[in-house]
Amino acid sequence: MRVVGVIAEYNPFHLGHAHHLAQARCLSGADAVVAIMSSVFTQRGDAALLSPIDRARMALSAGADAVFALPAAWAVRDAEHFALGGVAIAAGLGCDALSFGTEVHELPRMQQAAQLLEAPDAAFSTAVQTRMQSGLPYPSAISAALEAALPGAGVLLESPNSTLGICYLRAMLHLGTSMAVVPVQRIGGYHDTRLQGGLPSATALRGAILRGNWPTVRAAMPQEAYRVLRAAAAQGRIHQPDALDTALLYRLRTMSAADYAALPDVSEGIEHRLAAAAGVAHSREALLQCAKTRRYPYARLSRLATHALLGLTDAFLRAEELPRAAWLLGFRRDNRALLTHLKEHATLPILGKAADADRSAPWFTAEARAYDLWALGAGLPAGLALTQGVTVV
């Protein structure tokens, strides 16, 4: 059995995701598609709109054969670590190929860029430092140095999916995996705020959902995925974007200087700016808008705030470099042979339920805490990680 893996968030699942799954299956010649999906918090630090089980059910109804979780310890990270966690699970499950969407469909150039970024030579490192000393933020300095070293490659880091694609390739080099690579041309803008012709963006879809514009939402989603969404909304299982604002501000306002210093990705005084903003902000959005600068971008601050909320420290994340298990969220009953295949070929333990995990493991206790915070924001009882089970479609 040939298996292709995809790494996603499905926040929520839409027609663009269904297109990618279909293309991944077709272009890879795979018999099954496995999705590795952010669990309760996303790469940018936001709480997911729907629970992992609801989002897994959407994906299973529209092209995925099995869905596994990417825990918060890897999901709420910069692109490099997000990719490393996802690729490690895909490789640990024995996937034969990895597929990702990209705005720039130039795999050889992407692979060249990945090799240089993963193992930079002295000249490249000097070029990055020189550009940073001239006042460029780190991402811009990397892009400019990459363009100078590989003419035409700088544009690869100007689009979010292409950037993430390069990070997937870097993770494959780092892990020494031999998975085939299946890029799929992305159609539509990643951050489009309006649902219009073509495939939608998740940003625009979330906005329409929160406004209650159901006819527009329905047109942007596969039929069964839309049914899952409406059922979740009817039962109050939607996590509103501001639901944890008070909890976050309380946490930030009561943290000590040592607590701030212990957070991941702290440098150049970013923790002082976040702490100062927390003292005056009345919401999460106001906090991030107040703290962001050219040097401290919104997404980095958003992740930092969520790390504080979840109690994730730099020391913890360094100790948990790679996922320790593959947590199954759901599968299709008409492809049970896939689970047998994965169990025979996986090098990671496959968890069918929380009871299968070592509940004392640091990654699991952190994930259970993330689930409980998400449940709090969604108005659900604590213990969601222990009770959600596996969905079968």
Q: Which of 47-56, 131-140, 264-273 has the lowest mean pLDDT?
A: 131-140
Answer left, alpha or beta for residue 187, where phi above 0 means left and psi between -120 and 50 means alpha: beta
For the segment 256-284, the average pLDDT, to the nearest whole number, is 95
Prediction pTM value: 0.95
Report pLDDT for 194.
59
Tell me the chain's radius of gyration from C-alpha atoms. Answer: 20
DSSP of 65-94:
SEEEEE-HHHHSS-HHHHHHHHHHHHHHTT
SS3 call for 350 = strand
Q: Residue 197 pLDDT more than 80? A: no
For the segment 98-116, the average pLDDT, to the nearest whole number, is 93
Residue 251: half-sphere exposure toward Cβ, Cα within 13 Å = 22
pLDDT band at 198 (very low <50, low <70, confident <90, very high): low
pLDDT band at 199 (very low <50, low <70, confident <90, very high): confident
DSSP of 4-57:
EEEEE--TT--HHHHHHHHHHHHHHT-SEEEEEEE-SB-TTSPBPSS-HHHHHH
Q: Which of 56-70, 175-189, 342-356 has the lowest mean pLDDT?
A: 175-189
> Identity (one letter) of the amino acid at 347?
T
Q: Which residues pair with 68 in a beta bridge?
A: 36, 328
C-alpha triplet 50, 56, 62: angle, nearest 5°? 115
Compute the mean pLDDT over every residue in the chain, rounded to the nearest whole number.
Answer: 94
DSSP of 128-142:
HHHHHHTT--HHHHH
